[in-house]
């Protein structure tokens, strides 16, 4: 992150629909993960309303089918379809990638789990890292050819302000030796989302693929917090009295994702971290905003890419 920070006319209270007002995405193809509900669903809805052909990757076919039907535009060129995709299951990710045909203009890596009890995938991977990072890493790298074919594709990684709480635990990513802490695991996975954007933007620049990460804000009424229970079980800074993190409804929470996915204002922007529809400044101690230095570190980003590639290779 160098030079001046990128700003837009939009802010924390802007809705996703307002960001794409007047934007025509006819002829573009988009994929949004975790779009059966929450900000993923709103992201998919707004992209389709602007004319895009949208695929939503969902674990539950029934819920996905209902969501696709409900958010497909009544009129206009945009469409929405659902396809099975379980990011914690590498077989599911490979099947999705193998079935994809044609270019992909927009990829929104939105799905995620937060502060879940210790669970492991069949490979033995800690589930938050496996879902929030490795599943999306496998999906994005698997679809690299489709993204490159679009000649100007955009990849959006939905991270969180929670990334400021911790770096990737490189010597014990799966919490095999360290005591498991659900928030430490969540922070690790969200830092990984930003590091992915940093390294992918470097590796894929020649393919004209822009890759950015974002903090959507603290969103009310989504399933992401289903493992938290009472608010007292989450960090104190998540309390509604905090003025640091922007609390938003779903329509506002999807705005920064849509800005990076399709707005002309961010065309050509890559390797950045946004919040409240603008590029975030450096994180300051004691403040729940900004981007942590450990999440933008190029050496960490390259190291995580190699580790992720090797972990996936072991499952092939």
pLDDT of 308 higher than 50: yes
- Rounded-to-integer distance, Cα 104 and Cα 146, Å: 5
The closest of 313, 268, 260, 299 to 141, measured between CA atoms, is: 313
Q: Give the largest CA-CA distance in the chain.
A: 55
- Rounded-to-integer distance, Cα 103 and Cα 146, Å: 4
pLDDT of 3 higher than 60: yes
What is the reported pLDDT for 10?
Answer: 98
58 forms beta bridges with 84
Q: Please say whether the dihedral angle defined by the alpha carbons of residues 25, 273, 242 and 163, taken in this order, is positive or negative.
A: positive
Query: Which of the four pLDDT bands, split at 50, 70 and 90, describes residue 204?
Result: very high
> Average pLDDT, stretch 204-210?
98
The domains of the chain are located at 16-314
Strands 273-275 and 278-279: antiparallel
Q: Tell me: the pLDDT tens digits for 246-305?
A: 899 999 999 999 999 999 999 999 999 999 999 999 999 888 899 999 999 999 999 999
Q: Tell me: the pLDDT tens digits for 149-170?
A: 999 999 999 999 999 999 999 9
Rg (CA), the chain: 18
pLDDT of 103 higher than 70: yes
Query: Which of the four pLDDT bands, split at 50, 70 and 90, describes residue 316?
Result: confident
- Rounded-to-integer distance, Cα 138 and Cα 119, Å: 20
pLDDT of 239 higher than 60: no
Other beta carbons within 10 angstroms of residue 286's beta carbon come to: 7
Of residues 186, 238, 274, 305, which has the active-site annotation?
186
Query: What is the chain's mean pLDDT, rounded?
Result: 92
Burial class (CB in 10 A: 0-12, 13-18, 19+), 142: middle
Q: Which fold has domain 16-314?
A: Rossmann fold (3.40.50)
Q: Tell me: the pLDDT tens digits for 220-235?
A: 755 554 444 443 444 4
- 180 a catalytic residue: no
> Average pLDDT, stretch 12-24?
97
Strands 218-219 and 29-33: unpaired
Prediction pTM value: 0.93
Tokens of 226: 């289903």
What is the reported pLDDT for 76?
Answer: 75
pLDDT above 90 as % of the chain: 85
Query: Which of the four pLDDT bands, split at 50, 70 and 90, describes residue 92?
Result: very high
What is the reported pLDDT for 221?
Answer: 59
């Amino acid at each position: 992150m160098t030079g001046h920070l990128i700003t837009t006319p939009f802010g924390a209270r802007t809705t996703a629909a307002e960001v794409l007002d007047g934007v025509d995405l006819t002829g573009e193809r988009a994929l949004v993960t975790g779009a059966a509900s929450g900000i993923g669903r709103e992201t998919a809805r707004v992209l389709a309303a602007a004319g895009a052909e949208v695929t939503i990757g969902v674990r539950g076919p029934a819920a996905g089918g209902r969501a696709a039907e409900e958010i497909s535009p009544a009129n206009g060129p945009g469409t929405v379809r659902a396809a099975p995709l379980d990011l914690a299951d590498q077989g599911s990710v490979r099947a999705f990638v193998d079935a994809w045909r044609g270019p992909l203009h927009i990829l929104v890596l939105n799905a995620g789990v937060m502060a879940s009890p210790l669970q492991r995938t069949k490979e033995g991977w800690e589930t938050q890292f496996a879902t929030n990072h490795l599943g999306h890493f496998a999906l994005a790298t698997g679809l690299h050819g489709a993204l490159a074919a679009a000649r100007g594709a955009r990849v959006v990684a939905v991270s969180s302000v929670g990334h400021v709480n911790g770096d990737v635990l490189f010597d014990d990513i799966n919490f095999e030796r360290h005591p498991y802490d659900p928030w430490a695991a969540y922070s690790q996975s969200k830092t990984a989302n930003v590091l992915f954007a940093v390294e992918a933007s470097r590796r894929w620049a020649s393919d004209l693929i822009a890759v950015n990460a974002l903090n959507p804000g603290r969103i009310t009424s989504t399933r992401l917090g289903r493992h938290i229970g009472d608010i007292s079980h989450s960090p104190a800074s998540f309390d509604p009295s905090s003025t640091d993190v922007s609390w938003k409804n779903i329509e506002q929470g999807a705005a920064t994702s849509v800005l990076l996915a399709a707005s002309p204002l961010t065309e050509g922007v890559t390797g950045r971290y946004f919040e409240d529809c603008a590029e975030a400044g450096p994180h300051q101690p004691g403040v729940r905003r900004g981007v942590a230095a450990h999440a933008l570190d190029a050496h960490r980003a390259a190291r995580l890419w190699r580790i992720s590639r090797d972990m996936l290779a072991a499952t092939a």
